[in-house]
Chains A and B, each alone.
Chain A
Amino acid sequence: MTGTTVAPSAVLKPDAVRRSRLADPAVGIWLAAAAVIVLGWIVVALAGGQLLTRTNITIILSNSVALGLVAVGQSLVILTGSLDLSVAYLISLGTLVAAETMASGSVLTAVVAVLAMSAAAGLANGLIVTGLKVNAFIATLGTAFILRGWIEDNYTGPAGKVSASFQHLGYDRIGPIPVSIFLLAAVAAVLWFITRRTRLGHHMYATGGDEHAARLSGVRTRRTVVIAHVLCSLCVGAAALFLAARLGSGAPWAGTEARYDLDSIAAVVLGGTALAGGRGGVLGTLGGVLLLAVLDSVFNQLSIDPFFKNVVRGVVIIAAVALYARRGSRRTA
């Protein structure tokens, strides 16, 4: 095709508008967390306190570990278009299994036992969702009831004893940094790697984005969902081990008192992962966890009453999701 002049570049310009990186929720949530830190620091300073003391940083970080571990696992499941409401009871059971095993056996056996039990629970969740085709909300609510029944029937209070050597995980720190944060960092890094760099990760996004389309493209969608559930439960197992190290024994309320089920979902959604799946990621979730932890710390410093504290959390979550929804619709308008 010689002789024709080259079309003007305006015609060839892609119809995709380059979106600013700020529009990416994963970036936005970290900026929001940074803003909350600055604002919190100012507010606390005005009240005569100091937000960023060494001890306070340690508290914020170690408070983030358990929720962080659960939330990054939850991100995977939600990305894949599923959901896990059984995480809180699985944590409780995990701490009990860890403490009881350590009371009579070695630390290694306990770790293996907790992770194996978690994987089994995740496998069960995954198979119920994919095999029996039960909606994830109901399926995991069901397993949550089963776990709760088991726990309440067998335990009335703290049980078992965590080895002194294992408690280092809960309390040791390097400078102001608790060592447990490295556990969270490692788990998050592995999950980030899986979601961004492996085929499994791509298939998770695809399955969550449009399960039918993914299946038609040759993705084994059921297997993907099952694996996401197993990985999530392994993260929950890790959280249980951390909490056991913190508590020194197993506790039936370890997971439920802090509401890890709903809080983890809140952190995931706050971090920009679509509840319907297919969009978002682990990094955003970590930002969500940090934001919630800083918010908590600020409120504790100001000794604000718990009711108001929860109101603010609720408003923050709703505002964040409303913001994401706005962004999503502007594109199509």
Chain B
Amino acid sequence: MTTLLSMQHVSKSFLGVSVLHDVSLDLEAGEIHALVGENGAGKSTLMKVAAGEHIPDAGTIHLDGTAHRFTHPSQAQAAGVGIIHQEFALLGHRTVAENVFLGREPTRRGLVDRRAMEERTAQLLAELGETAITPRMYVRDLSVARMQTVEIVKALASDVRVLVMDEPTAPLAEHEAGLLHDLVRRLAGRGLGILYISHRLREVFDLSRRITVLKDGRHVTTLLTEQTDTNAVVRAMVGRELSAYYPQRARPEEIGDVRLAVRGGGNGRLSGIDIELRAGEITGIGGLQGSGRTSLARALFGDAPFTEGTMTVANHTLRPTSPRQAIRAGIALVTEDRKAEGLALRQSVRDNALLVTRAIPARGRRSAAGSIGQLLERVRLHARSGDQQVQFLSGGNQQKVVIAKWLAARPRVLLFDEPTRGVDVGAKAAVHTLVRELAREGLAVLIISSELPELIGMSDRILVMADGRIVGELPAGAGEEDIMRLATASADREAVA
């Protein structure tokens, strides 16, 4: 194998804070090279240096033995380095073809050659075996998984030889992730070098030839995947053995009264929803992307309310038609998109934690501002101070701020949509422990998760959804296969019909 990309002794600091310190990494043609590390380890920064988005303070970048110094993403692109970000760089109001060729539109006599653009896009889509996307579709109409395919096509259209993927499976459901893995392998088979950032160690071991571990902006080790194991990688990432155990489940006597119940709930996306959430119990919701899991959470929270059926909260009949009503009734929702929906990123930890209580001051509750310090301790937040802007916190600590925000409102029912998305391995365990503690204190908890180990590890029982219905219930400790069987069964039926 030949070395395609070589980054040597790269350092980078922002405003005096060193983010990368003397990191070296190389990538061979046809290799999938995984990059792992906790949040804030410097993975994304290193990749942005490779892609020309950050200019390194020191160090060299060689592509095919030629030294490069990128000052703009377009230079890296021209040299053959493409990057797929966690947040897609796509324009919703433009077509697939326009997005694929953005910044490199083919021209004929000085004018944009739309036909060539669309033909080439169609050809690339066909090569990837993607038949559901056509070049003239608007990107805003595509699912997340398909948007990602468009991103990949976009990179391929510029003849990249190095493809950087920053947590590509994070927004995907399990079966979509599987399709993406196949695609990544095929790309590597064509001779592309792929740098693959992921928090999911299982896929890292499935895919990669080598694994590089970063910690605190430094290179820890680079291992051949077949000569190492999960424990060794986790040890390198966190500097300690991480217990793979989830907190103990609820004992039967810990499970109390029904706090929230729905009978025959339905709306545009959901139908025939029967669900009971009990104090002290964690109810898990499994299902594929688009099965209605998030719609269920939003219906319970009054954001996209039920239009039929009855709902009772603490034995009072109430069908919330706005989040405000739901919050008043003691329901809280930790959304899957923390940055867009959970936090005001530029505001301080304190302001964020007080967001709900300031919006909805409850009678008989003393000023929450005084107790907020206790709450932040309660969720074990690691921040410099309450005045720090939340945008500078790691994903795990941001999530703790969101949880603190809800605890300040003293909820009875806590809904979590993907509780640990974008949270690093070390902080995940802390979030899991916290969630279990909250249940133990008598909250009714609902968890939606695309990560099956998490769903199984955390839940006292699991409801599986498909096509906007609850299609089955599984007891604690059910197997991954059981969940997937229920989740996909109806989809198969649909395809046959």
A11 to B110, CA, bound (A): 40
Interface residue ranges, A against B (CB under 8 Å): 7-8, 11-12, 14-17, 197-199, 201-203, 205-206, 209-210, 212-220, 278-279, 331-332
Residues of A within 8 A of B103 (CB): 203, 206, 214, 217-219
A279 to B138, CA, bound (A): 12
Report the minimal beta-carbon distance from B110 to chain A, rounded to whole angstroms.
7
A218 and B132 within 8 A (CB): no
A205 to B137, CA, bound (A): 16
| 5 nearest A-B pairs in the assembled complex, by CB-CB distance | A218-B74, A218-B103, A213-B89, A16-B141, A216-B89
B74 nearest CB neighbor, chain A only: A218
B92 and A12 within 8 A (CB): no
A331 and B89 within 8 A (CB): no
A218 and B72 within 8 A (CB): yes
A202 and B89 within 8 A (CB): no
- Contact of B444 with A by CB under 8 A: no
A205 to B85, CA, bound (A): 21
- Contact of B140 with A by CB under 8 A: yes
Q: How many residues of B contact A (CB 8 A)?
A: 37
B154 nearest CB neighbor, chain A only: A217
B48 nearest CB neighbor, chain A only: A216
Residues of A within 8 A of B77 (CB): 218
Residues of B within 8 A of A14 (CB): 132-134, 137, 141
Q: List 19 A-B contacts (CB under 8 A).
A: A8-B495, A11-B495, A14-B133, A15-B142, A16-B138, A16-B141, A16-B142, A17-B141, A205-B91, A205-B93, A209-B92, A213-B91, A214-B102, A214-B103, A216-B85, A217-B102, A217-B103, A217-B154, A331-B141
From B72, B85, B112, B134, A197 is in contact (CB under 8 Å) with B112
B93 and A278 within 8 A (CB): yes
Residues of A within 8 A of B351 (CB): none
Given A206-B94, A216-B73, A16 contacting B89 (CB threshold 8 A): no
Within 8 A of A (CB), among B31-72: 53, 72
A203 nearest CB neighbor, chain B only: B103
Residues of A within 8 A of B72 (CB): 218, 220
B105 nearest CB neighbor, chain A only: A199
Report the minimal beta-carbon distance from A188 to chain B, rounded to whole angstroms.
18
A19 nearest CB neighbor, chain B only: B138
Report the minimal beta-carbon distance from B240 to chain A, rounded to whole angstroms.
36
Residues of B within 8 A of A331 (CB): 140-141
- Contact of B179 with A by CB under 8 A: no
B51 nearest CB neighbor, chain A only: A216
Given A12-B132, A197-B112, A218-B74, A206 contacting B141 (CB threshold 8 A): no
Residues of A within 8 A of B131 (CB): 12
A332 to B103, CA, bound (A): 27
A198 and B110 within 8 A (CB): yes
The 8 A CB mask of B242-282 against A (1 = contact, 0 = none) is 00000000000000000000000000000000000000000
B129 nearest CB neighbor, chain A only: A1
Residues of B within 8 A of A15 (CB): 132, 141-143, 146
A205 and B94 within 8 A (CB): yes
From B112, B134, B142, B495, A7 is in contact (CB under 8 Å) with B495
From A7, A16, A209, A216, B94 is in contact (CB under 8 Å) with A209
A197 nearest CB neighbor, chain B only: B111
- Contact of B88 with A by CB under 8 A: yes
Identify the interface centre among B102, B137, B154: most chain A CB within 10 Å of its CB.
Answer: B102
Given contacts A16-B138, A206-B103, 10 further A-B contacts (CB under 8 A): A202-B102, A203-B103, A205-B91, A206-B91, A206-B94, A213-B91, A218-B73, A219-B74, A219-B102, A332-B140
